[in-house]
Structure 1
Amino acid sequence: MRNFWDQIMIVLGIAAILAIPVFAADADAAIVPPPNTGAVEGVLIDSQSGEPVSYAQMYLPELNRTYTSHDDGSFHFYELPTGTFTLKVFRVGYRDASFNVVIAENDTSFVRLKMSGSAIAVQDVVVESERDELSELAKPEQEISGKKLRQNLGRTIAETVDYEPGISQRTMGPAPARPVLRGLGGDRLLVLEDGERTGDLSGTSSDHAVTIEPMTAERVEIIRGPEALLHGSNVLAGVINVARGYVPTTKIHRASGSLSAQGESVNDGYSLGGSASVPAGAFVVRGDGSFRKTQDIVTPIGELANTKIQTTNASAGVGLVKKWGTIGTSASHYQSDYGIPPDPVAGHPGGVQIDLERNHIETKAEIFPSKTAIRKIELRHAFTRYRHSEIEFSRNLGREITGTGFDVLTHHAAALLRTNRIGIFENGAIGFWGEFRDHSTPSGRNLTPPSKEYSGAAFLYQETEWGKLSLNGAMRLDARAINPQFSGNSNAAGIIRKRSFAGISGGISGIFHLNSQISLGSSAMRSYRAPGIEELFSEGPHLAVYNYEVGNSNLDAERGLGLEIFMDVKSPGWRLRVAAFRNAISNYIFAKNTGERSIRIYSLFQYQFVGEKALMQGVESAWEWRPFTAWQIGGTASYVKAELVDLDEAIPRIPPFEGKAYLRFHWQEFSIGAAVRAAAKQDRTGEFETPTDGYAIADLSADYNFAKSGLLHTFSLNIENVFDSEYRKHLNQIKHIFPEPSRNIKLLYKAYF
């Protein structure tokens, strides 16, 4: 039956792509292009030499439009709605820039934008008649793109963002790494791709990988505060969104794209990737692909067996770009084989091999109504089929068998209306979201009963400004129903039955601008999270993590209250951000080690899902100083203390105090840097959890780029763990067996055209 539905969805996806030209033929007759559109054309130049800046990546976040400047530095955006928009520009060798551009009705604005070298701090250039900047609260709190993305590019998204303040990574080998933000991970941290949920199971267990390949990512956004509620109800820590641009939304007049190759020494690994966008009349066709292969990781005390990775990722999309908006569709495929290392103490003695596959079809439309209170209408639907098998070697049978299997079919649908100024509110949104998930465990040992899950949400977001005070707020209503196939049965988790949940989440945040350089802010967030199917109904051995998991069918929903205060200081020569937070969560759900062995499989310890009152408090900071034109010094630091209040115990798997300091020197198209990553010891551990010692690790990096033969060539060299030190990270679940990787030399080449 599942194969039948797979075929149906593939046929529908192909039909959607083929139907776009038919739709387009009638689109102009059905939808009258609004008169309030305009365009912007211009050229990017070097502020020192006056030479054109080619191959710069340009992004209009309010309209989700992207572009790459031509060889002569020229660029253009056509058929844009009127208004004032933010234009972000990224180019290796230059400081990231942000400009405001005004789009006038039936007019083309011609602008000349200057970019400064990366070692020179300058104020943003504003191209407009009257400044009307969007609230700082509407922008991602952290954004990783361009040169920074290449420098930090890792095997996984978690490794790529690991250097940001407040972020750690949960690992169980190199492949199944997932970000942890302010001590919150798993299903408590949404990891999105192009604003959509991935449909994988990475949030449910530490052996499950995130199905996002960082090689072809355009940028990574970290969103906090009330705006995060547009994506989910459980966002105390925030949201991580990986922007790829699967569905083209910008009209282009020439082909553009990139080619990448990366190699690393610690695992004899390599990866290849590429992306391209090609104009086809009113359409834009886009495709990307990547391949990654590594051998076993080497550590200072030896090779870590069964840590090989082989991943293939590919996508193709087409978009129609007209004056009234855009419509398009895309299809993508992700397949990965990776190993979980053997752990004779607390894991599978022979290791486990995981084979996963994700197929994804997405269709979305963006419509710009003519002179109404609604600025933009976004409609989207996504279908995802995710399959995952955990393969072990049976000594009794003398062959490999599937120990645990997962098969999840997911449909997402969403509608979002972004509004213009309405009364005192300057920028808002109202939306609806729905999801259907069909869970099954098709082979091997079944952890959970086959179930169907129905979820829905409605949400509202608004911004306003009163003088020096910027405010934004959001409210969200969520409901979920979980319907197990075998209702009425009983197991160690309790009575298997239909469960329904509903809850309200919300938040408000404000920034007070003391002057042009100093801002103070605070936020309050109310979160809500319904328990997952695994937490409610699981019973059985999960051999990849070597646990015997038992759910709790009587669990209630989690509800949290988060408070935060922060300060931002920005000047031409330096900047500082400091934040303190407090998150109180009632009924914090986690798998607690009971200390007892499973009756069914005596070698496994039994983990029971429970709900306890939790409190997380912490601070984080980031700073940067440019004492001289060519020198850059900076660092980050973060700390979180987490405890189960009623039990007077530490919450397991919480990162210790962590920090990083770096020094970089820039000269023309070349830069070189050194950094130190450090962590304190972690002896505030949960029951049956082992402590870890502190460490300090040195890294080196260098970057060089040049333009030649119609290409922008970039090289990034990183040497990690320069002195081949032996150290262990607290969130690595196999830290008691092997330390972190040895010295690693990574070289990335990326060419833009």
Structure 2
Amino acid sequence: MTQNSTKNLILTTASTLALMLAISAPVSADETDDQKHSHGHEAEIEELFVTGAPHSKTRLDVLQGSNLISGEELDQRLEASIGETLSGIPGISSTFFGPGASRPIIRGLGGDRIRMLINGIGSIDASSTSPDHSVAADPLTAERIEVLRGASTLLYGSNAVGGVVNIIDGRIPSLIPEGGFEGRARLSYSSVADDVAGGASVNARLTGTDETALVLHLDGTFRNTGNYDIPGFSESAVLRATEEEEENGGEEEAFGTVENSDVDNKSGAVGLSWIGKDALFGISYSRNDSNYGVPGHHHHEEDHADEAPGEHEEEEEAPVRIDLDQKRFDLKGNLTRDFAIFEEARLRFGYADYKHTELEGSEIGTIFTNKGWEGRLELIQKEIGNLHGSMGLQLRERDFEAIGAEAFVPPTTTRQWGIFAVEELSLDPVTLEFGARFDHQSVDNKALGQTRSFSNISLSAGGAYHPTAESLIGLSLGRTERAPTAEELFSNGPHLATSAFEVGNPNLDKERATSLELTLKQESDRLTASLNLYHTWYDDFIFEAFTGQQEGGLNILEFRQRDARFYGAELEVDYLAYSVGTHNIWLNLSGDLVRAKFTGDLGNLPRIPAKSATVGFAYEGETLGASGSIRFVDDQTNLAASELMTEGYTDINMEVSWRPFGDDQDLTLRLQGKNLSNAERRQHTSFLKDLLPMPGRSVKISATYGF
């Protein structure tokens, strides 16, 4: 796909949005209640967005870019990892390190700049340390996923400067089930990797009434896959051409299947809540066990493919696998009662004992451990006139250690504490928002006895104007300070996942980001649309710089600082084109772009996603549904030093769903065809983009049942 064609499509999309915003107001009142509630997307709009605001809001009222994925949409999007589940939403890409490990990239930012939360508390794993480390949360456990980017993410710390992904799993029950018992089950099969996955959860009232009760939660999930199929060669054509020029292309190239890409994952949890009229207290214990292959590591060793079997056996690298285990304890408390200037108190606490072992064949390579905890106390203020808000305290501790051949980070202890406040002033039709947060972080290098401490101040302000009850024009401004991580300060060793010898810089200063975002939204019975335009200026942005030197055959990368800027746009449009009785047809249009450059024409930042645009439709009837989409991803030619260009692709997807009992029973059968053209698809945001394409054509069947 050419660059001009994508630009034209995005310009057409933007023009369509502007036209729809202009015509939507007079037609929205013509819809009936039946039409409104028959469309799954409309039902989802009525859900409240709980991340990043003192009071729950509808998506229309969230000032910055946001997504809420639940219900039918979540069932449609579910993949083996949280990164691939969210990838393709405007503004979101992934680190794609195979099916076992994939973390979200938001607006070109990843790693420690994206906070992964489970029910508002950090995932407490090692996923931000390296792209081959999985997030310790299976999307199968999620009831809903909320994504927030922009200035209001400061509630969750400066580590959320790029965005927040909050997985809400309901493992601590917050509602008394109707009739005393409720549950949900899901089972699926995907052909591309013989992927069999399923899960079930139940909530049961043990004692009490419909108003006050003790509620038990149980859930379990599993996923088992083989190696996944690809359309052609594992290596990209661009890389193969480079190897031929360098006369290094002698090995037999992988074709048709990605070896060592299988996944075996199991998780389970038990939770217990006491739910009263004005109080809630609950606890849960969960376990996540995963064993997955890390494809692509064999490219780091010398090539002996032409030699006789048995020669150089000791020098060849065995397949690398990761055996992950996390034990986690969570606590939740809510008290709704007036005291002083407050009306509610919310307590969240999580502790996790995380360990993963990197296996090289049958040998133990490196062991990563992370014992950590995090707690939040948030006090919700009474509404005083037109003003309401919240303030709170957050504490975190991370005891991280890597032992073995790839221990590129020394043992460290990171402690953080922060205080924050957000306020909202309603001056109908204008709403003003203000936020402030102070953070203190210390990082102790146990091996060298070094300690670095930082104090950060983050501020945000925004205003929303509602021209009508169904539209919003918002402008937000944020100033965030982020302290460098232990990895950025103290790394010193080989990191095969990134094909580099990483060298930290203990003299790094904190980075500062100033962000400006314009948001336009429309949500009516006929039209749901949003447009986000943003620009972020970074002072002393921390990045890994190529030095041109090597250590042990690996490129030496040093953590350095330089001013940079990110800017881009995100667009989503759903338009009700036809509606008769219970039959509705929706047209969908979306797209995104992001650019990231060092200030002063010093080049592009690496692994920035290419421009993309998607067109689609969705039909919904009383028992049948169907949808289809075509996604266009452009070539990525805005390259950083030592990067190869990534070719674009066209991704075609179709789906048919059937509810055999209609609304009388919550049973849905779904047939999906993914990447129907069997296109070779590569994520420019992945370290393995030239070694590891995304899966080829796949047929997926699934069944979900609620009771």
User: Where on the TM-score scale, by shorter chain, does this alignment land: which range?
Assistant: 0.7 to 0.9
Deviation of 1:377 after TM superposition, in Å, equals 0.3
Give runs of aligned pairs for residues 343-742 of structure 1, distance below 5 A: 343-345=297-299, 350-370=318-338, 373-393=341-361, 400-425=362-387, 427-487=388-448, 497-598=450-551, 601=552, 603-629=553-579, 630-646=584-600, 648-707=602-661, 711-742=665-696
Q: Distance in 2 between matches of 1:712 and 1:332?
A: 27
Deviation of 1:747 after TM superposition, in Å, equals 1.3
- Return closer, same or farther for 1:133/1:265 CA change in 2, 3 Å cut-off: closer
Asked if the contact 2:65/2:532 (under 8 Å) is kept, the reply is no
Q: Distance in 2 between matches of 1:169 and 1:89?
A: 33
Q: Distance in 2 between matches of 1:389 and 1:256?
A: 37
1:364-415 C-alpha deviation (Å, 9 max, x unpaired): 211111475312101232111111222224xxxxxx3332221111021221
Q: Distance in 1 between matches of 2:671 and 2:498?
A: 34
Counterpart residue type for residue 612 of structure 1: R
- Return closer, same or farther for 1:284/1:573 CA change in 2, 3 Å cut-off: same
Counterpart residue type for residue 554 of structure 1: N
Counterpart residue type for residue 156 of structure 1: S
Q: Distance in 2 between matches of 1:413 and 1:471?
A: 28
1:112-161 C-alpha deviation (Å, 9 max, x unpaired): xxxxxxxxxxxxxxxxxxxx999913798321111111111111111111
What is aligned with 1:110? none
Asked if the contact 2:296/2:688 (under 8 Å) is kept, the reply is no
What is aligned with 2:229? 298
Which is worse superposed, 651-660 or 712-721?
A: 712-721
What is aligned with 1:224? 149
- Return closer, same or farther for 1:647/1:139 CA change in 2, 3 Å cut-off: closer
1:278-310 C-alpha deviation (Å, 9 max, x unpaired): 001120000111000101111011111110101
Asked if the contact 2:217/2:272 (under 8 Å) is kept, the reply is yes
Q: Distance in 2 between matches of 1:543 and 1:374?
A: 51
- Return closer, same or farther for 1:526/1:557 CA change in 2, 3 Å cut-off: same
Deviation of 1:201 after TM superposition, in Å, equals 1.4
Asked if the contact 2:470/2:523 (under 8 Å) is kept, the reply is yes
Q: Distance in 2 between matches of 1:619 and 1:140?
A: 10
- Return closer, same or farther for 1:99/1:237 CA change in 2, 3 Å cut-off: closer
Deviation of 1:508 after TM superposition, in Å, equals 1.1
Q: Distance in 1 between matches of 2:137 and 2:272?
A: 20
Q: Distance in 2 between matches of 1:133 and 1:445?
A: 46
The secondary structure found in structure 2 opposite 1:96 is: helix
1:546-603 C-alpha deviation (Å, 9 max, x unpaired): 32211111111111011011212333322321121101111211222323210xx2x2
- Return closer, same or farther for 1:537/1:638 CA change in 2, 3 Å cut-off: same
1:267 equivalenced with 2:161 (yes/no): no
Asked if the contact 2:527/2:575 (under 8 Å) is kept, the reply is yes
Give 1:309's match in structure 2, choosing from 263, 267, 274.
263
Q: Distance in 2 between matches of 1:568 and 1:683?
A: 31
Asked if the contact 1:402/1:444 (under 8 Å) is kept, the reply is no
1:193-228 C-alpha deviation (Å, 9 max, x unpaired): 111101011112111111111112101111234442
Q: Distance in 2 between matches of 1:595 and 1:350?
A: 28
Structure 2: give runs of 5+ residues left out of the alignment.
1-31, 49-56, 208-212, 233-255, 302-315
Asked if the contact 2:83/2:96 (under 8 Å) is kept, the reply is no
Counterpart residue type for residue 231 of structure 2: P
1:258-284 C-alpha deviation (Å, 9 max, x unpaired): 111011000011111000000011200
Q: Distance in 2 between matches of 1:691 and 1:392?
A: 31
Q: Distance in 2 between matches of 1:436 and 1:341?
A: 32
What is aligned with 2:133? 208
Q: Distance in 2 between matches of 1:733 and 1:340?
A: 12
Deviation of 1:531 after TM superposition, in Å, equals 1.0
Aligned residues: 621
Deviation of 1:355 after TM superposition, in Å, equals 1.2
Higher relative contact order (CA 8 A, sep 6+): 2
The secondary structure found in structure 2 opposite 1:246 is: coil
Q: Distance in 1 between matches of 2:630 and 2:400?
A: 44
Asked if the contact 1:404/1:542 (under 8 Å) is kept, the reply is no
Counterpart residue type for residue 450 of structure 1: P
Asked if the contact 1:324/1:368 (under 8 Å) is kept, the reply is yes
1:233 equivalenced with 2:158 (yes/no): yes
Q: Distance in 2 between matches of 1:444 and 1:693?
A: 35
Q: Distance in 2 between matches of 1:94 and 1:475?
A: 34
Give runs of aligned pairs for residues 54-453 of structure 1, distance below 5 A: 95-96=43-44, 98=46, 136-137=61-62, 141-252=66-177, 253-281=179-207, 282-301=213-232, 302-345=256-299, 350-370=318-338, 373-393=341-361, 400-425=362-387, 427-453=388-414
- Return closer, same or farther for 1:218/1:94 CA change in 2, 3 Å cut-off: same
Q: Distance in 1 between matches of 2:257 and 2:58?
A: 53
The secondary structure found in structure 1 opposite 2:160 is: coil
Q: Distance in 2 between matches of 1:135 and 1:231?
A: 21
Q: Distance in 2 between matches of 1:199 and 1:216?
A: 17
What is aligned with 2:246? none
Q: Distance in 1 between matches of 2:635 and 2:172?
A: 45
- Return closer, same or farther for 1:134/1:538 CA change in 2, 3 Å cut-off: closer
Asked if the contact 1:616/1:643 (under 8 Å) is kept, the reply is yes
Deviation of 1:615 after TM superposition, in Å, equals 0.5
Asked if the contact 1:374/1:419 (under 8 Å) is kept, the reply is yes
Counterpart residue type for residue 569 of structure 1: Q
Q: Distance in 1 between matches of 2:216 and 2:561?
A: 48
Q: Distance in 2 between matches of 1:576 and 1:298?
A: 36
Q: Distance in 1 between matches of 2:599 and 2:65?
A: 32
